[in-house]
Amino acid sequence: MHNNIKRIASIMIAAMVFVSLPCGSIFARTHIETDKDCSITVDIPDTWNDLDTVDFPVDLYRVAEVDKNGTYAVTDDYKELSGMVESIDSKTTADDYEKMAKSASEIVDKEGLSADKTIEVKNGKGSVSGVKTGLYLVYTKPVNSAQYGYSFVPYLVSAPNNEFAMTGSGSDSWIYDNITIELKPEQKELTGSLQINKVLKTYNTELGEPIFAFDIEAYDKDGNVVFSDIASIRFDGVGFKSVVIDNIPAGSRVVVKEVYAAGSYKVTSSDNIETTIVAGDTVNADFTNDYNNKLIYSTGVVNHFEYDGTGWEWVQN
């Protein structure tokens, strides 16, 4: 029976569009040093500590140049965005920036453009230097940890930046070094499958079709049960058969026990196997049984419960 604390559906965290408002003379009283290099730092919030287990790149694409007065001019690859980018002013909204970022990311994908700079994120942090002044698309491709899948909202960041432009208060001095950006991920739970393999070495035709039942329990890293079910395999002769159990949370430790073997058949392998579920893959648990030379007729059915989103439905296998 699926445990009611199983995370049935993927966990989706609503994306928050993060925009470091582009710079401009409307935001600051001093000119930009356009020939001065900048540096950009990624710092993933502690609330996403699972991402610390994954190393991945964050690509920066220079969508526009900027002059000393904060006026943008799109680079050659992004000419179709000139109307939007070059009209940025104090009335440009977060929704406008979101649309520009989305359009820029579509151009990157369509044209197969190479990043101007790449930040290699390790243990939740990363930085890159030598960034020319301008307006950049921050674009991160989806990545997976052992347990979750992450996608990221593309957005725009200006280099240099300033505190007043980002917050509406504080200093309006230009920030060239350690321009800090936060990634805003969407998270979904990953799953994998378990295949139980059974070999029956000897078969007595006079004893009917033997059935073998297995208990499946999966645990998270804290020892909580995240999946529970029972599966069965029926034989009508010697040989190999298997059954696949899907949608088990990835990264969980799964324990498979053969809890019932037909009366005249004994387990010749281990009756208790542990393994770890791998996202998008199938792991195996192998069992072997043999005839024990006893004339004990047996058969049976296995009750299986499926969660339909509102309650548990009983199904007889």
Domain count, the chain: 2
**pLDDT of 146 strictly over 60:** yes
- Does the structure show a pLDDT above 70 at 295? no
pLDDT at 2: 42
Distance from C-alpha of 64 to C-alpha of 82, rounded to nearest angstrom? 9
Comparing 79-88, 90-99, 237-246, the range with the smallest average pLDDT is 90-99
Give the model confidence (pLDDT) of 91-120 as tens digits: 888 889 899 999 999 999 999 999 999 999
Using the predicted structure, report yes or no on whether residue 60 has a pLDDT greater than 90: yes
State how beta strands 38-43 and 125-131 pair.
antiparallel
Query: What pLDDT digit, counting tens, does each position of 156-184 carry?
Result: 999 998 766 555 566 778 899 999 998 88
Q: In this structure, what token pair is assigned to residue 198?
A: 């059974």
Identify whether the C-beta of residue 252 lies closer than 8 Å to the C-beta of residue 228. Answer: no
193-220 pLDDT, tens per residue? Answer: 999 999 998 877 666 778 889 999 999 9
pLDDT reported for residue 12: 26
pLDDT band at residue 67, thresholds of 50, 70 and 90? very high
Q: Is 65 exposed, middle or buried (0-12, 13-18, 19+ CB in 10 A)?
A: middle
CA 298 to chain centre: 46
Number of residues in the chain: 317
1 assigned to some structural domain: no
What single letter denotes the amino acid at residue 18?
F
State residue 204's pLDDT score. 72
**Domain termination residue (choose one: 155, 189, 223):** 189
Are 172 and 236 in a shared domain?
A: no
User: Domain with 223 in it: what CATH number?
Assistant: 2.60.40.10
Of 143, 170, 189, which one is at a domain's C-terminal end? 189
Domain end point (choices 189, 212, 241): 189
| CATH number of the structural domain spanning residue 43 | 2.60.40
Mapped onto helix, strand or coil, the DSSP state of residue 76 is: helix
Same domain for 126 and 238? no
Same domain membership, residue 159 and residue 51: yes
Quick one: pLDDT at residue 263?
A: 64
- With 70 as the cut, is the pLDDT of residue 294 above it? no
Please report, for residues 48, 196, 197, the alpha-carbon distance to residue 263 in angstroms, rounded to integers and kept in the order given: 51, 20, 20
Is the same domain home to 178 and 204? no
Structure tokens at 149: 């899948």
Q: How far apart are CA 3 and CA 227, in angstroms?
A: 6
* Residues spanned by the domain of 279: 191-308
Tokens of 255: 């324990």
